[in-house]
Amino acid sequence: MSSPIPILRLRPALWGTVIIAVLLFVGMLAVRSGGTASAGRTYTVFLVNVMLVISIQVFIGNSGIVSFGHVAFMGVGAYTTALVAIPEALKTAQMPDLPTSIASLQLGFFPALLLSAVLAALVAAIFGGGMVRMTESTMAMATLALLVVAHTFFQNATTFTRGGLGLAGIPARTSLGLATLIAVGFALVGRLYKESRSGLRLRATREDALSSASVGTNVVGVRYGSWILSGALMGAAGSVWAQNVIAFNANQFYFAITFSLLAMLVVGGRSSVTGAVAGAAVITFMTDTLSRVEQGVRIGPWELPRITGTVQFAIALLIIVTLILRPEGIFDRWEVDDLVRRVVDRVRGRTRAPAAAVPPVPELAAVAPAEPVAEAPIALEGRDVVKRFDGVTALAGVDIDVHDGEILGLIGPNGSGKTTLLNVVSGVQVPTGGRVELRGEDITGWPAHRVTARGLSRTFQNIRLFSELTVRENVEAAAPADAGEAEVEDVIAWFGLTSVERQKAVNLPYGVQRRLEIARAVIRRPSVLLLDEPAAGMNESESDELLANIRRIRSVVGCAVVVVDHDLRLIMKLCDRIQVLDQGRTIATGRPDQIASDPRVVEAYLGAGSPAA
């Protein structure tokens, strides 16, 4: 088994960054040798914009949550750098009340950048702690508050910022070459983060926060980490920006620049580093060209009048058009190396495997049915579990015992509480009363990701895959931290998914999606596996295949399995024991033959007065 790797798609990430680096360097050389001084300035502005947008993209692109407040971190970085880079004499002249410790401090380019990043990260850490617990829309509003608070602070802390008057005299240390280098660095960091384990897990929360918790991701934690990294990057970018514009004031860290940067993300592609670069290019070029038009320009015999706000107009229109025609932006979620690979494949005549071809489950040796496991130790125990909500009692005191290695069927009519029991046991819901123990450890009320970390994983009734991620990424996002590439590939092969590894989960046929969901649960190496209606929508031959698979999983993984389903034919054939719920209570437990002939069970399903009762 290979060693666990923190960066999952390292080679594509490096290749992608190399391509971007080449493009940026070529552009720089072209501008330096052939262009005017103003073109050089514009290119530097473009590069700084690349840094700013990538910083924001690290958070927004991966978490899917909008932040209006990132310019606050840019301001922190810019002011920090200004305070340590402006020559002492100029500093004391502009800010006479500055403490001598700061006044005498002089730092070079990189130390200033580093300090800016650290302070911005600190501010992000302090303000982010509460925010990442909020819902999507509330957090967006909280970031708006952050922007306003930061802006107010910058405007009024005149001892350090000179408010609206601004600071001047920052050494112009952002040369064209240096900016190109640093921009490439940002692209590398952004891309590496995206392809890292944390980045992938965060992207999974964007697709389905509930099931990512159920595959072991601490949603709040991974959002927090991304927020802080993004803040640090933004502070660094602010530092580079300050050393390019050499003078700025507090009014700049507000909505105009926020709008501009978000426009770059929307147009270029929210979820892609390449998109961030492209968006920065489009908007910078537009801004530059239209600013000239705004001044009033001659085109041939016509003289266009001054139109204030042309830039804002154009950008706003571009955003709206993009959102209508291509909502995810020009590059969508693609990186430049993905596109290159597609072109190369097409040139070489290699076409993608048609999505319609359903990969068969590999022929593995038939597994003999396990011996009765009534004496095996108890893997999962629920005692007197009660769940009430909105005046409804879904569970009225249910006991459940799952022995090591057994397959337990959980059945009952609709509304009997089966899914609620699964939810309570797996940490998706908190029980109103009772106790749940996993391998002797009390896990009552634990959140889903902790329960999963302890060894219980599950699938959902309505398939909750990470739709926009590939098959492989779905499994990787679920894999435990110490699982290596080989283990991931093993599981994918075992479920017959290797041929569709690169397909997006949303494009898979239904049966294959179900298989992927189970694969995702299995890679957690669970000691208890909960399957919620795995046979839904399957015909007889498909459910026979499922039966064989579940038996194989039990043998190979060595876990206990709890299966909830309405396909009673499947349940009777598959399970060692069956537990029947009705109206939130257990009405029968026993072997399949016992349950099939139990009149209470027949009555619960068919209704009273049935001839079979």
Partner 1 sequence: MTQHEADGSGARGGGDAAPLLSVDSLRVTYGAVTALRGVSLDVQQGEIVATLGPNGAGKTTLLRTIAGVLKPQAGSVTFKGRSLHGLAPETVVRRGVALVPEGRHIFPALTVEENLAIGGIARSDHVELRRDIDAWLERFPILGERRTQLAGTLSGGEQQQLAVARALMSRPSMLLLDEPSLGLAPIVVDRIFALITELRDDGVTILLVEQNVHRALAIADRAYVLSVGEVVASGPADRLIEGELERSYLGIGQRG
Partner 2 sequence: MSPSEFVQQLVNALSLGSIYALLALGLSMVYGILGMLNFAYGELVTIAGYTMLFLTTQLDAPFIVVALGGILAAGLASVLMELVAFRPLRNASFVSLLFTSFAVAQLIQGAFRQAVSVRARGVPVPELFDEAVQLGSIRISLLSIITASIGAVALVTLTQFMKRSRTGVSMRAAAQDFTTARLTGVRANRVISLAFLISGLLAGIAGVLWIARTTSVNPATGFVPVVQAFIASVIGGLGNLRGAVIGGFFLGTLEVFLQATLPGSLLPYAQATSLLIVVAILYVRPQGLFGQRAVA
Q: Which does 309 bind (CB under 5 to 8 A by kind): partner 2, partner 1, none?
A: partner 2
The only residue of 92, 94, 106, 155 in contact with partner 2, by rule CB under 8 A: 155
Q: Which helix (H) or strand (E) holds 378?
A: strand 378-389
Contact 53, 183 (CB under 8 A): no
The closest alpha carbon to 547, from 585, 505, 601, 592, belongs to: 592
User: What's the sign of the alpha-carbon dihedral 279, 247, 78, 243?
Assistant: positive
Complex with partner 2: residue 89 or 323, whichever CB lies closer: 323
> Stretches 90-98, 163-171, 437-445, 505-513: which one binds partner 1 (CB under 8 A)?
505-513
List the x/- string, 16-55, binding to partner 2 by CB under 8 A. ----------------------------------------
Q: How far is the CB of 214 from partner 2 (least distance, A)?
A: 9
Please give the Cα distance from 237 to 231 (Å, whole number).
Answer: 10
Burial 323-338 (b: 16+ CB within 10 A, else e): eeeeebbbbebbbbbb
| Number of amino acids touching partner 1 (CB under 8 A) | 38
Q: Which helix (H) or strand (E) holds 570?
A: helix 568-574
495 binds partner 1 (CB under 8 A): no
> Stretches 65-73, 263-271, 428-436, 602-610: which one binds partner 1 (CB under 8 A)?
602-610
What are 541's two structure tokens? 């031959």
Q: Which does 610 bind (CB under 5 to 8 A by kind): partner 2, partner 1, none?
A: partner 1
Contact 421, 400 (CB under 8 A): yes
Q: Which does 569 bind (CB under 5 to 8 A by kind): partner 1, partner 2, none?
A: partner 1
131 binds partner 2 (CB under 8 A): yes
600 binds partner 1 (CB under 8 A): no
309 binds partner 2 (CB under 8 A): yes
DSSP 3-state assignment of 589? strand
List the x/- string, 401-420, binding to partner 1 by CB under 8 A. ------------xxx-----
The only residue of 1, 22, 133, 177 in contact with partner 2, by rule CB under 8 A: 133
Residue 481: partners with Cβ closer than 8 Å, 6 or more residues away: 4, 197
Residue 350: partners with Cβ closer than 8 Å, 6 or more residues away: none
Q: How far is the CB of 306 from partner 1 (least distance, A)?
A: 49
Q: How far is the CB of 513 from partner 2 (least distance, A)?
A: 21
DSSP 3-state assignment of 472? helix
79 binds partner 2 (CB under 8 A): no
> Stretches 17-25, 32-40, 298-306, 598-606: which one binds partner 1 (CB under 8 A)?
598-606
360 binds partner 1 (CB under 8 A): no
DSSP line for 245-305: H-EE-GGGSSHHHHHHHHHHHHHH-TT-HHHHHHHHHHHHHHHHHHHHHHT--EETTEEPP
Please give the Cα distance from 233 to 241 (Å, whole number).
Answer: 12
Complex with partner 2: residue 9 or 223, whichever CB lies closer: 223
Please give the Cα distance from 393 to 223 (Å, whole number).
Answer: 34
Three-point CA angle 107, 109, 112, nearest 5° = 55
How many residues make up the chain in this entry?
613
Among positions 88-127, residues that touch partner 2 (CB under 8 A) are: 127
Please give the Cα distance from 132 to 136 (Å, whole number).
Answer: 9
Please give the Cα distance from 269 to 334 (Å, whole number).
Answer: 8
> Stretches 248-256, 301-309, 445-453, 500-508: which one binds partner 1 (CB under 8 A)?
500-508
> Stretches 49-57, 343-351, 519-527, 563-571: which one binds partner 1 (CB under 8 A)?
563-571
What are 339's two structure tokens? 């596109």
The only residue of 129, 296, 362, 607 in contact with partner 2, by rule CB under 8 A: 129
DSSP label of 64:
-
The only residue of 208, 473, 567, 576 in contact with partner 1, by rule CB under 8 A: 567
Q: Which does 364 bind (CB under 5 to 8 A by kind): partner 1, partner 2, none?
A: none
Q: Tokens 């694969």: give the residue.
A: 519
From the number of C-beta atoms within 10 Å of its C-beta (0-12, 13-18, 19+), residue 205 rates as buried
Q: How far is the CB of 568 from partner 1 (least distance, A)?
A: 4
The closest alpha carbon to 557, from 367, 362, 360, belongs to: 367
> Stretches 63-71, 227-235, 385-393, 443-451: which one binds partner 1 (CB under 8 A)?
385-393
> Stretches 109-117, 182-190, 221-229, 600-608: which one binds partner 1 (CB under 8 A)?
600-608
66 binds partner 2 (CB under 8 A): yes
> Stretches 172-180, 243-251, 471-479, 501-509: which one binds partner 1 (CB under 8 A)?
501-509
138 binds partner 2 (CB under 8 A): yes
Please give the Cα distance from 192 to 561 (Å, whole number).
Answer: 37
Three-point CA angle 457, 458, 459, nearest 5° = 150
Among positions 516-545, residues that touch partner 1 (CB under 8 A) are: 533, 536-539
Contact 411, 531 (CB under 8 A): no
Residue 405: partners with Cβ closer than 8 Å, 6 or more residues away: 370, 373, 376, 554, 558, 559, 560
130 binds partner 2 (CB under 8 A): yes
Please give the Cα distance from 161 to 82 (Å, whole number).
Answer: 9
164 binds partner 1 (CB under 8 A): no
| Number of amino acids touching partner 2 (CB under 8 A) | 49
583 binds partner 1 (CB under 8 A): yes
14 binds partner 1 (CB under 8 A): no
Strand partners, 168: 247
390 binds partner 2 (CB under 8 A): no
593 binds partner 1 (CB under 8 A): yes
Give the interface with partner 1 as residue ranges (CB under 8 A): 390-392, 413-415, 506-510, 513, 533, 536-539, 566-573, 583, 592-593, 596, 602, 605-612
Give the interface with partner 2 as residue ranges (CB under 8 A): 64, 66, 127, 129-131, 133-138, 140-142, 144-146, 148-149, 152-153, 155-156, 209-210, 213, 219, 255, 259, 262-263, 266, 270, 307-309, 312-313, 315-317, 319-320, 323-324, 327, 428, 448
